[in-house]
Structure 1
Amino acid sequence: MHFDERDLYTGLATLHWMTISQTDSRWDQAFYQHIIEGNGGRALEIGCGAGRLLLAYLQAGLDVEGIDFSGEMLAVCREQATALGLQPVLYEQPMQALDLPHTFHTIYIPCGSFICVMDREAAVETLRRCYAHLEPGGTLAFNIYLADYNYSQAAAPGPFPGEWKPRAEKQLPGQRRLVVTVRETGIDPVEQIWMEQRRYQLYDGDQLLEEEIHSGQGRWYFRNELLLMLRIAGFSQVVVKGDYTDEEFSAKHTRTMVFLATKDRAD
């Protein structure tokens, strides 16, 4: 089944991401900021969305630009930037087609957004283009959330679709609130793909005003798999950190692995 990657970032989904950018904790902000400040120069956020990190970095005086494949998300980012007195440089592009007029000292892809590129060749192309857009000695940083699929389970995954499960509830101005639930619609453990639907329900008090269901999918990766992909893309210096710490990724880390790939200075 074909999914439009943009479907999870339109309509009421955009409203959800906007509230996340305003209210949710920026658990990864310090990690990426340390890299940007250490490298100096210009940075690029791939998948900047509504500006959760980008706007915080601009407020801190860092030189950061952003790209996203969703025009609706970029419109929200610009709106929020204007309210803060900021004028971000933004581009509407999918990461696998990255083509900008200059290079960067740091490129980062937060929130596990790299998994939005479903085609494997396009995923490698994304890494190649990041390599090409880095200054020599520059850093590509991105995180991948750990897979929770149990390959030893006796039964096949399913049945699908699964039950709706709560994901989030966001309070909005007045009596409005946005309720988000999700359900799995498929898993392919061989291709390492999960599929899901997200249901967005906008309420005024107890009255349902709008409801939208968006479909999407993602791919999970393993450490050595991505190390090979990065090498194919041109990176020879790669370290993997665990859970946004300075510790090398190991079995004790349970949330995410963060890849830090450096472009050779000889390039």
Structure 2
Amino acid sequence: MGHKNLFNDWADVYDIVYQGKDADVDFYRDFTLDADGPVLEIGCGTGRVYLELLSANVDVYGIDVSGPMLSVLRERARRREFEPQVWQADMRNFTADQTFNRIVVPFRTFLHNLNIDDQLATLHRIRDHLTPNGKLAFDVFLPDPEIIATKYGNEMKFELERDEQTYTVVQTYRLEDKVKRYMQLDRELFRDGERVGSVTYRHALLDKRTVELLLQQAGFDDWTVYGGFDGDPLTSADQEMVWVVKP
């Protein structure tokens, strides 16, 4: 699985496509504000969540597999006169010289682990880097059979406005492997008819029971799952699964 190259060519336009995607920011900020020690964000990318935690005076560190994404984060931090503590690492095998009281994995980053070995490797690394009273929070989408049946395979287009420029996003979701259960997203970004960025990535399709089994296998025994970032119960497939986990 080529984690490293997924977003390298997408780094310069990532923030254009994902502008306004901030429903999770308040949740992760609140989750980390009362941390009794340092915080680690896995998959900090261009800093969409990370910089907001820094702005809230959270003692936050970050890792990401993409060097170009981290370069964007550092430049954004420089403009805000922040000093980020981030480094390039793979969530499946990262190491740090300290443990963390909170670890967060926002924006479905965990789903880039397509197989059980990678999923468990990531969870083991997280558990090894949590303090005894620490907590993990992450979010993953719940596969909706109706959406898979009606929307996957169909090209979708939508427009975005950024810096007085109009961009068109063209994307297609596909059920790439029906046995191993993962989907593929092909996404392109156009400005004035010219392609300015593209990315292809895959996400594992994990239901609630599978996530629970993974957590149990990785040595966790205390967790809560919510339906979205406002603490609502998980009752339908159109909600985001938001997990809060203790060692």
Q: TM-score normalized by structure 1?
A: 0.83
Report if the CA contact (8 A) 1:105-1:138 is conserved: yes
Cα distance in 2 between the residues matched to 1:25 and 1:211: 20
What per-residue deviation string (whole Å, max 9, x for no partner) do you get for residues 156-177 of structure 1?
x97xxx44312552423xx644
Report if the CA contact (8 A) 2:25-2:49 is conserved: yes
Measured at CA, do residues 152 and 145 of structure 1 come closer, stay the same or move farther in structure 2, by a change above 3 Å? closer
What per-residue deviation string (whole Å, max 9, x for no partner) do you get for residues 164-195 of structure 1?
312552423xx644322111344333322112
1:10: Cα distance to partner?
2.5
Report if the CA contact (8 A) 2:142-2:241 is conserved: yes
Cα distance in 2 between the residues matched to 1:210 and 1:247: 40
Cα distance in 2 between the residues matched to 1:200 and 1:114: 24
Report if the CA contact (8 A) 1:243-1:253 is conserved: no
Measured at CA, do residues 20 and 88 of structure 1 come closer, stay the same or move farther in structure 2, by a change above 3 Å? farther
Residue number in structure 2 paired with 1:164 = 155
Residue number in structure 1 paired with 2:27 = 31
1:236 and 2:240 correspond: no
Name the amino acid aligned to 1:9. Answer: F
Of 228, 232, 242, which aligns to 1:258? 242
Of 146, 171, 194, which aligns to 2:142? 146
Residue number in structure 2 paired with 1:97 = 93
Cα distance in 1 between the residues matched to 2:167 and 2:72: 17
1:218: Cα distance to partner?
0.9
Residue number in structure 1 paired with 2:187 = 198
Residue number in structure 2 paired with 1:77 = 73
Residue number in structure 1 paired with 2:173 = 184
Residue number in structure 1 paired with 2:2 = 4
Query: SS at 2:143's partner residue?
Result: coil
Q: Structure 1: give runs of 5+ residues left out of the alignment.
A: none
Q: How many corresponding residue pairs?
A: 247
Residue number in structure 2 paired with 1:136 = 132
Q: Structure 2: give runs of 5+ residues left out of the alignment.
A: none
Cα distance in 1 between the residues matched to 2:47 and 2:148: 40
Which 4+ stretches in 1 moved above 6 angstroms?
A: none
Of 39, 43, 50, which aligns to 1:47? 43
Query: SS at 1:39's partner residue?
Result: coil
1:93: Cα distance to partner?
0.8
Measured at CA, do residues 97 and 202 of structure 1 come closer, stay the same or move farther in structure 2, by a change above 3 Å? farther
Cα distance in 2 between the residues matched to 1:68 and 1:152: 29
Report if the CA contact (8 A) 1:7-1:215 is conserved: no
Cα distance in 2 between the residues matched to 1:170 and 1:10: 23
Cα distance in 2 between the residues matched to 1:8 and 1:170: 24
1:126: Cα distance to partner?
0.2
Residue number in structure 2 paired with 1:214 = 199
CA RMSD across the alignment = 2.5
1:117 and 2:113 correspond: yes
Measured at CA, do residues 77 and 32 of structure 1 come closer, stay the same or move farther in structure 2, by a change above 3 Å? same
Cα distance in 1 between the residues matched to 2:100 and 2:14: 26
Q: TM-score normalized by structure 2?
A: 0.90
1:243: Cα distance to partner?
0.6
Name the amino acid aligned to 1:198. Answer: R
1:41: Cα distance to partner?
1.6
Larger radius of gyration: 1
Query: SS at 2:95's partner residue?
Result: coil
Measured at CA, do residues 31 and 111 of structure 1 come closer, stay the same or move farther in structure 2, by a change above 3 Å? same
Cα distance in 2 between the residues matched to 1:112 and 1:256: 9
Cα distance in 1 between the residues matched to 2:84 and 2:147: 44
Measured at CA, do residues 17 and 113 of structure 1 come closer, stay the same or move farther in structure 2, by a change above 3 Å? same
